Structure formats: structure tokens, C-alpha cells
Chain A
Amino acid sequence: MNTELARLLTWLRRYPFCVTCALVSLILAGTCWVLWQRVGELREVVSSRAQEGENMLATRVSGITLRSDLAYVREYTKVIEDNLLVADNPVENKGYFYRLEKQARVSLTDVQQLPAPPADTDSLYRRIPFALKLTGGYDQLAAFLRAVETGPRLSNVTSFSFRRNAPPSLLLTLDLTVEQLAKP
């Protein structure tokens, strides 16, 4: 054993540079292992931060269009909500059709607010149906229909019936059922 040790010591004394290199390499290998592990962890952190950062960047970029879209939608919902009917105010609700009657120059002979179907509890709006009876020329009745469909109050014509009046009258009678959007 002592002989082996003596031989090793001789060898070590004979190659001091190699011994130094081996010791330095050993320390460096340990350092490399630690650094390699650390680099792996840091890469994951960078990857998650980059992902978060890019998402934020995309959000910031979308913010420009989002602002304009939101302004547009708010304007649109304001128009909808400003023109919502109140179910308990039939006088005002019918008055809308009488205003259109004047514009279209037709004769609105009857307007009835029909019972509204019950709205869902979580519903934002409800529909109120109306039954209308009008008399006038074809063009005037068509103008009234157009005014109802494109007017500020959101309306949906559910049924209609044009009938020619008995001769010698040249006029037509229009029976119309319309639903309009109302507050719940």
C-alpha cells in the first residue's frame, strides 16, 4: 500500500501541471453542473415571463380597437335603451305609431297593446306585441311599414295582411302585428 502511495506521490510530483488541471477541472465540473441546472430553471422563468409579456403586448395592441369598438357598442346600446318601451305606459307606446301615421299619411284606425308574454327572470329585455289596423294607398302603407321596421324602436313584424277595400274605394287595409322591444 505504501509502495502504491509512494508511486502515486511520485507521479503527482512528476506531473504538477496535470494535477492542478485535474483539480481545477473537478471544481469547474461541479460549477458547470450547478450553473446548468440554474440555466434550465431560468429558461423556464424567461419563457413564462415572455409569454406573459407577449400576452400583455397583444392586449395593449387590441386595446386601441377595443376602445373604438366599445364606443360603438355603447352608442348602439344607448340607442336601444333610449327607445325601449315601458309596458305600463300604453299611451306613450301607442303614441309612437300615431306619430308614424302622420309621417306616412295613412289612417291608423286601431292600435291595441296586446298582453306581453312573461319575460325570463334574467332577461334584459322583453317583447310587447301590438295589433294595428291601417287604411291607405299601397305606397303609403308600405312607407308606414318601412318606418316601423327601420324606426328607432326595435320592431319585428310578426304578421301582416293587406286587403283591397270594397269598390269603389281604391284604398287598402293593412292588419299588422308588431313586436317591440321593452324594458323587462
Chain B
Amino acid sequence: MTKSRDPLALGPHWHVDCRLETELPEDNVVGKRFLINALFGSATLALILFTGWLAYMNLSLHSQIRDWDQRITESRKEVQEIQKLQRDYLVEAKKVDHAYALMKSSFFISGFTAHLGQTLPRQLNVDSIDSSETAIMVRGSIHESYETASDLLSGYRKQLLKEPEIAPFFDKINTDLVRAPDNTISFEITFQRKPPPA
């Protein structure tokens, strides 16, 4: 092996290393002391910011409470007046409700009789209209043959069942024809009332 290829051979600039490394200042680009200071500093800064934010929140909430208190104080008189009006309204509404409860009627009899007068076929002669709590009975006579009278009455019944002024107020509308021994035909239309609402 030649001298130049020997790895253990001493170079021309060889010298003894006399540095005391522990006593030397750090020569890192980012020092350990800096990192510790940065860490503590960041944490403290974050806490300062958080405390500031909390203090701001505190002040803001105090301000909101003052604002609401002011609005409530300003509105109190008017609201008390409105509450009194509400009580008055309840008293008045109770009177109306009570009157309605006593006098409620399912429909106007005058409207019913007027409607009957307008729509009744002229061949039907009404002799009587009677009412009870459950029904209204219209009775009369027809001067036609039984078949014609039957067609007339069933046609009128169908018409009544379609009438919006009549049909909604009754459960049933029934018709009946009776031929007497002397061949006179009498009819009966029964309007079965709906039970009053509870």
C-alpha cells in the first residue's frame, strides 16, 4: 500500500484539538435558549390574547345587558298598558263567547224557508212546515200521477242534496209519498238535523 492511500496516515495540517466544548457559547443557527424563550413567549402571548378576548366579551355582554335593560324600562309602561288591554279583551271576548254559546243556531230558519219557497217545484203544494229539535218536516200534496209525483219528488231531493245553503246543515233528507183511497197524493220531506256541535 502506498503512503498516499493509507487512511490512517497523518495529513500535513494535523494538530491537537484543544477546544473546551462545554464552555463555548452555542453556535447553532436556532439556539436552545431561543426555542425555550419562544415557547414560553408564545404561550404567554396566547394567554394575553385570550384574556383580552374574555375581557372584551365581558364588556360586550355588560353593554348588551345595559342595552336590554334600557329597552325593557322604556317599553314597560306601554307593555303594562297592553297587558291591561289584553285583560279587557278577554273580558269582552268572554261576553261574546257566552252570548254565542247561549244563542248559537245552526242556521237561519228564515233562509231555509225562503230557499224552500224559491226552489220548490210549483206542482208541490205545501200545507205545513213543522220543526222539532231533530228534524224539519215539510208536508203537502201533489196533483199529479203517482209516477210523476215520485219522479218530481226524487228529483227535488237530489237537487236539495246538492244545495250548499241546505245540504250542509242536515244529516239526511228523506222523502215519502202516500196515495190516499181517493187517489190524492200527499208528500213529506224530512230534513234530519245534524246534532249541534259540542
Contact = CB atoms under 8 A, between A and B. Distances in A.
Interface of A: 14-15, 17-18, 21-22, 24-25, 28-29, 31-32, 35-36, 38-39, 42-43, 45-46, 49-50, 52-53, 56-57, 59-60, 62-63, 66-67, 69-70, 73-74, 76-77, 80-81, 123-127, 138-139, 141-142, 145-146, 148-150, 154-164, 179, 181
Given A46-B68, A127-B103, A145-B110, A17 B40 contact: yes
Please provide the 10 A-B residue pairs with the shortest distance between their CB atoms, ordered closest to farther: A146-B110, A49-B68, A42-B61, A35-B54, A21-B40, A145-B110, A162-B129, A21-B44, A63-B82, A28-B47
Contact of A155 (B37, B103, B111, B128): B103
Nearest to B95: A77
Contacts of B102: 125-127, 181
Interface in B47-80: 47-48, 50-51, 54-55, 57-58, 61-62, 64-65, 68-69, 71-72, 75-76, 78-79
B88 interface: yes
B66 to A, nearest CB: 10
B114 interface: yes
B122 to A, nearest CB: 13
A160 B72 CA distance: 60
Contacts of A35: 51, 54-55, 57-58
Contacts of B79: 56, 59-60
A69 B93 CA distance: 10
A62 B82 contact: yes
B117 interface: yes
B96 A76 contact: yes
Contacts of B72: 49, 52-53, 56
Interface residues of B, number: 60
A47 to B, nearest CB: 10
Contacts of A123: 98
B103 A21 contact: no
Contacts of A15: 33, 36-37, 40
A60 B58 CA distance: 30
Contacts, number: 181
B179 to A, nearest CB: 21
Given A39-B58, A76-B96, A138-B117, A66 B44 contact: no
Contacts of A59: 79, 82-83
Contacts of B132: 159
Nearest to B125: A164
B121 interface: no
B96 A73 contact: yes
Given A66-B85, A70-B85, A142-B110, A164 B95 contact: no
A66 B95 contact: no
A101 B94 CA distance: 33
A170 to B, nearest CB: 12
A29 B110 contact: no
A141 to B, nearest CB: 8
A74 B108 contact: no
A142 B118 CA distance: 12
